[in-house]
Amino acid sequence: MRQDDRVNDREAAFDRSDDTVLAPAPDPAAMRRQYQTEGLVRSQLAGTPVEQFGRWFRDATENPAVFEPNAMVVSTADAEGRPSSRTVLLKHFDDHGFVFYTNYGSRKGRELTENPHVSLLFPWYPLARQVIVTGVAARTGRDETAAYFRTRPHGSQLGAWASEQSTVIGSREELDQAFADLDARYPADEQVPVPPHWGGFRVTPRSVEFWQGRTNRLHDRLRYVSRPGGGWRIERLSP
Ligand SMILES: Cc1cc2nc3c(=O)[nH]c(=O)nc-3n(C[C@H](O)[C@H](O)[C@H](O)COP(=O)(O)O)c2cc1C
């Protein structure tokens, strides 16, 4: 048997085993859920979007089907308007905004420095709910960042130093070695300094939409929009 034939035979066997072992991927067009949930009415909404967010956030945390209720999709865009999205964890929210922590040199960090406009999306599918925040991001103060950094487990503190987030690296080993070096330098009982390239972003909301899935795709969408002089206007959007 020629070498080429053997290679071709192997490839053919590989193709066949793929056909027989792998079930076809599910067809997303055939997936359909009816949302049997109570509606969202304007008269029941809280006076501020942050207060309303707090109510829904409590519902999400109390539902065991929502795995990480504080996980949100953060979308940014560069100076030319090219968008990018990723999941991050919400770490604080109050009337001043929504706070998450990241590497300032990461793609999102660089984009937010060029263009502070941002969108946050909380996908609470088991509740047939989503919350979409749009607003403007600004770095948290160093004291606030340091106070949060101190609450992180030692390993996560080292991880913030070990990873040059969003840069291309040669191998997994490089990353593990960087972590091991830091671990040797800062044993568990030693304080890890806050990395200068790491910290928080606070998103001051300009609009916050509360989306509740309803039957027949006639969902409820109520959006708070900040008024220029202060306070909020609430509007209902067509689903
Ligand atoms: C559930 C989950 C939570 C995450 N939380 C964070 C976070 O709080 N901060 C962060 O920088 N990255 C977090 N990540 C990683 C980001 O999704 C992303 O990979 C990383 O921040 C680099 O993004 P960028 O290259 O777009 O800047 C999380 C990922 C997942 C799946």
Q: Which domain holds residue 122?
A: 33-153+195-236
With respect to residue 2, please indicate whether it lies within any of the assigned structural domains.
no
| CA distance to 10, 25, 221, per residue, from 16 (Å) | 10, 17, 49
Ligand 1 contact via 84 beta carbon (within 6 Å): yes
Known binding residue 211? Answer is: yes
Per-residue pLDDT tens digits for 166-199? 999 999 999 999 999 999 999 998 999 999 999 9
Number of structural domains (the chain) is 1
Nearest CA to ligand 1 atom 18: 86
Mean pLDDT of all residues in 200-206: 98
Known binding residue 166? Answer is: yes
With respect to residue 46, please indicate whether it lies within any of the assigned structural domains.
yes
CA dist 96 and 94 (Å) reads 5
Ligand 1 contact via 71 beta carbon (within 6 Å): yes
Q: What is the pLDDT of residue 19?
A: 54
Q: State which ligand 1 atom lies nearest to the alpha carbon of 89.
A: 8
Q: State which ligand 1 atom lies nearest to the alpha carbon of 71.
A: 1
With respect to residue 178, please indicate whether it lies within any of the assigned structural domains.
no
With respect to residue 119, please indicate whether it lies within any of the assigned structural domains.
yes
Per-residue pLDDT tens digits for 7-16? 444 444 445 4
Q: Which residues are catalytic?
A: 217
Per-residue pLDDT tens digits for 44-92? 999 999 999 999 999 999 999 999 999 999 999 999 999 999 999 999 9
Nearest CA to ligand 1 atom 30: 87
Ligand 1 contact via 108 beta carbon (within 6 Å): yes
With respect to residue 6, please indicate whether it lies within any of the assigned structural domains.
no
Distance 71 CA to ligand 1 centre (A): 9
* CB within 8 Å of 198: residues ≥ 6 apart: 101, 102, 103, 104, 145, 149, 160
CATH number at residue 60: 2.30.110.10
With respect to residue 173, please indicate whether it lies within any of the assigned structural domains.
no
Known binding residue 89? Answer is: yes
Ligand 1 contact via 166 beta carbon (within 6 Å): yes
Supply the DSSP string of 21-87, one letter for each residue: HSPPPP-GGG-----------GGGS-SSHHHHHHHHHHHHHH-TT-S-TTEEEEEEE-TT--EEEEE
Ligand 1 contact via 86 beta carbon (within 6 Å): yes
With respect to residue 208, please indicate whether it lies within any of the assigned structural domains.
yes
CA nearest neighbour of 88 among 211, 210, 201, 220? 201
Task: Look up residue 67 and give its two tokens.
Answer: 């795995």
Q: What is the pLDDT of residue 20?
A: 60
With respect to residue 122, please indicate whether it lies within any of the assigned structural domains.
yes
